[in-house]
Each structure stands twice: as structure tokens, then as C-alpha cells.
């Protein structure tokens, strides 16, 4: 039996994060609503500290460590958003951080992680194992190894975004029919699913994933963990986990209504839509939930739907590409 986190743990995480992270807004645009034939809300996590939701779980985990961590530091692996979250949280807590990052991660994410004071170890994602590299460093230093998604403290920290979303919808007098959440390893989706299913039990919860990285959708279908092709590529660098986590999938398989798969082009178009209608800068992986709505993968007619935009750490060239290729 797996000891799974609960709604109570998310409420506790929310108290710990109060005054540290931002309560990001829930946005809507009447012109876009008119086009879609329903009411669409955007949970704007690009406006979060470090530019993504990842600071929520990272701070929830790191702030609970004992004084020994101030000597050993913490170790993690990430393509960028979790890296920045851990680096920032560690800095806030006065703890050193080492982050294993792929050489082809966006330069912006590498630079920001380093700017928060973290030591960076680069690796080749196609020939080397980030897990093995990080594990070796952690064992050598006697340091905690922080999972980017498959840990109760990480999951419940990320779940505070869902807690806020449900509260904000209620404040606006909106009954959510559906919520769609970007999914890599499943930390955000599982945490948010725990919160939303408790506070808005009539709401259907879906995940959105990039093409070739739909391991959670396939796992939901088979009931067993599925893996992605290690040679597959996508511009959605934030969502390229190899397989769902044990904890995250145990939660998701009970609470999710299904999943959507989004192409790179659909993600780019959603980035342009987010900028046009919400004045929001969203990275490709952060845009997949919005993309699933804009591309018609879910019926919006007469419904109220919330899509989480999970991060906005995108390089200028990629963002320009999105704006230049906007589908009218």
C-alpha cells in the first residue's frame, strides 16, 4: 500500500506557503468566451514567483528540512522550472542547492537557476541518466534528493494552485464543469486533483500532455505505468518526464476523467492566444491545457472550464515563433 497525501496535507501546505508564494489570478476574457461559446478561466501560474508553479512544491519540501540540510544542501534534477523552484526555495531557506539539468534546457532556465545561487551539473538527456547522476551526488554528500514530482511534499505544495483555483471560481460565482491541467510527471495534476475534487466535487478533471509524451493518458487507459520513447522530442521541455510517478499516478488514476494530447503547433498557437487575450507570456509546456481548449479537444459550448497555464519561462525566439505562427 502507498501512503498517499490528502486534502488536509494541501491545506497545511497552503498555510506554510502563505506570504511566500503568490496567489496567482484566475483570468477570463469576454471576447474569447464569445468565440468559444462558453466561459473559460485561466489560472495564471506564469505570474508566480520564479515564473511557474514549481516554487510551491519546492518550498513546501525544503522548508520542512532540518538544520543538517544547511550543511549537506539539497540535490534535484530538472529541465528548468523545478530547478528554478528548488534554487529559489533553497535560497529563501538558507540551504545550498545542486541541480542536474539537461544541456539542451532553455538557456533562460539555466541562467535563472544559476542566478538563484544553485550549482548546476549538465548532462545529455539522450545518453545519460539524470536520476543516476543526481543520486550519486546526493549519496556522496549525504544530501536529500528532491523529486520533481513523485513526493508527497511536492504534490501537496503544487496542489495549493488547485486549492486557489477552486476558491477563486467560487468567489466569482462560477461552477466549474471541467478543469484541465498540464501534466509531465503528474505532480501538479495530482495535487490539484486532490484539492479540486474535494472543494468542487462535480468538476471533471483532465490532464493535457504533448504528443509523444502522453504517458499518463496511456497509463490511465491501461491501468499500468507507461513510458515515453527516450528519443522523442517536443518543444514542451517542461513536460518531458519519462513516466508517471508511483504516487502521482495512484492519485490521478482515481481522480482524473481523462487526458488530451497536444501537438507542438497547437501549443504555439495557445501561447499566442494567451498573449492576445490575457497579455500573458506562457511557455510551450505551460500552454498545453489552454491548447486543448483552443484546438477543440473538449466541448466548450455552454460550459465553464478552467485551464491551468503552468509556467512562462520561455526564450524570446520561441515566443516570437508562437506569435508569428498564430492561427487566426
- Residue 268, sorted as left (phi over 0), alpha (psi -120 to 50) or beta, turns out to be alpha
The CATH number of residue 87's host domain is: 3.40.50.1100
R_g of the chain computed on alpha carbons? 18
Question: Are 77 and 38 part of one and the same domain?
Answer: no
> Do both 191 and 213 map to the same domain?
yes
Answer yes or no: is 2 within a domain: no
Q: How many CB atoms lie within 10 A of CB 202?
A: 8
d(CA 182, CA 239): 8
Residue-level pLDDT at 106: 86
Domain identity same for 216 and 245: yes
**Residue 153 belongs to some domain of the structure:** no
Q: How many alpha carbons fall within 13 Å on the CB side of residue 250?
A: 14
- Single residue among 121, 146, 171 that ends a domain in this structure: 146
| Full domain range(s) for residue 110 | 55-146
Q: Does 152 map to a domain?
A: no
Pairing of strands 39-44, 304-309: parallel
Question: pLDDT 10s digit of each residue in the chain, 328 long?
Answer: 678 999 999 999 999 999 999 999 999 999 999 999 999 999 999 999 999 999 999 999 999 999 988 899 999 998 889 999 999 999 999 999 999 999 988 898 899 999 999 999 999 988 898 889 999 999 999 999 999 999 999 999 999 999 999 999 999 999 999 999 999 999 999 999 999 999 999 999 999 999 999 999 999 999 999 999 988 999 999 999 899 999 999 999 999 999 999 999 999 999 999 999 999 999 999 999 999 999 999 999 999 999 999 999 999 999 999 999 776 5
Q: What is the pLDDT of residue 327?
A: 64
CA angle 285–187–260, rounded 5-degree value: 50
Total count of domains within the chain: 2
Query: Where is the domain boundary, 86, 112, 146?
Result: 146
Residues 217 and 101 both lie in one domain: no
Same-domain pairing of 221 and 284: yes
Question: What is the pLDDT, as a whole number, of residue 185?
Answer: 95
* 28 belongs to a structural domain: yes
Do both 221 and 84 map to the same domain?
A: no
Supply the pTM of this predicted model. Answer: 0.95
pLDDT of res. 1: 63
> Across the chain, where does the E strand assignment appear?
26-27, 39-44, 74-77, 97-102, 119-123, 145-146, 178-182, 204-210, 258-262, 304-309
Assess whether 222 and 172 both reside in one domain. Answer: yes
Same domain, 78 and 218: no
Amino acid at each position: 500500500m502507498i501512503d498517499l497525501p490528502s486534502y488536509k496535507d494541501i491545506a497545511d501546505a497552503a498555510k506554510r506557503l502563505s506570504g511566500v508564494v503568490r496567489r496567482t489570478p484566475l483570468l477570463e476574457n469576454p471576447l474569447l468566451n464569445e468565440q468559444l461559446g462558453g466561459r473559460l478561466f485561466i489560472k495564471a501560474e506564469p505570474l508566480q514567483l520564479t515564473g511557474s508553479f514549481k516554487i510551491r512544491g519546492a518550498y513546501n519540501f525544503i522548508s520542512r528540512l532540518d538544520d543538517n540540510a544547511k550543511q549537506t544542501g539539497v540535490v534535484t534534477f530538472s529541465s528548468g522550472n523545478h530547478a528554478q523552484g528548488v534554487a529559489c526555495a533553497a535560497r529563501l531557506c538558507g540551504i545550498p542547492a545542486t541541480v542536474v539539468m539537461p544541456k539542451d534546457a532553455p538557456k533562460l532556465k539555466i541562467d535563472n537557476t544559476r542566478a538563484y545561487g544553485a550549482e548546476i551539473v549538465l548532462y545529455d538527456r539522450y545518453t545519460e541518466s539524470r536520476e543516476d547522476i543526481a543520486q550519486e551526488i546526493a549519496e556522496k554528500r549525504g544530501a536529500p534528493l528532491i523529486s520533481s514530482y513523485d513526493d508527497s511534499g511536492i504534490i501537496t505544495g503544487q496542489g495549493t494552485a488547485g486549492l486557489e483555483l477552486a476558491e477563486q471560481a467560487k468567489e466569482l460565482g462560477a461552477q466549474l464543469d471541467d478543469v484541465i491541467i498540464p501534466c509531465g510527471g503528474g505532480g501538479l495534476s495530482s495535487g490539484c486533483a486532490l484539492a479540486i475534487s474535494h472543494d468542487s466535487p462535480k468538476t471533471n478533471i483532465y490532464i493535457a500532455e504533448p504528443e509523444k509524451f502522453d504517458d499518463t493518458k496511456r497509463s490511465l487507459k491501461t491501468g499500468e505505468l507507461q513510458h515515453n520513447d527516450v528519443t522523442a522530442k517536443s518543444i514542451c521541455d517542461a513536460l518531458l518526464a519519462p513516466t508517471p510517478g508511483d504516487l502521482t499516478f495512484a492519485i490521478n488514476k482515481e481522480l482524473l476523467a481523462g487526458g488530451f494530447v497536444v501537438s507542438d503547433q497547437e501549443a504555439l498557437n495557445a501561447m499566442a492566444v494567451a498573449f492576445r487575450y490575457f497579455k500573458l507570456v506562457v511557455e510551450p509546456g505551460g500552454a498545453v491545457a489552454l491548447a486543448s481548449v483552443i484546438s477543440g479537444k473538449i466541448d466548450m459550448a455552454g460550459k465553464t472550464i478552467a485551464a491551468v497555464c503552468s509556467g512562462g519561462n520561455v526564450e524570446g525566439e520561441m515566443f516570437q515563433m508562437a506569435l508569428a505562427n498564430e492561427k487566426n
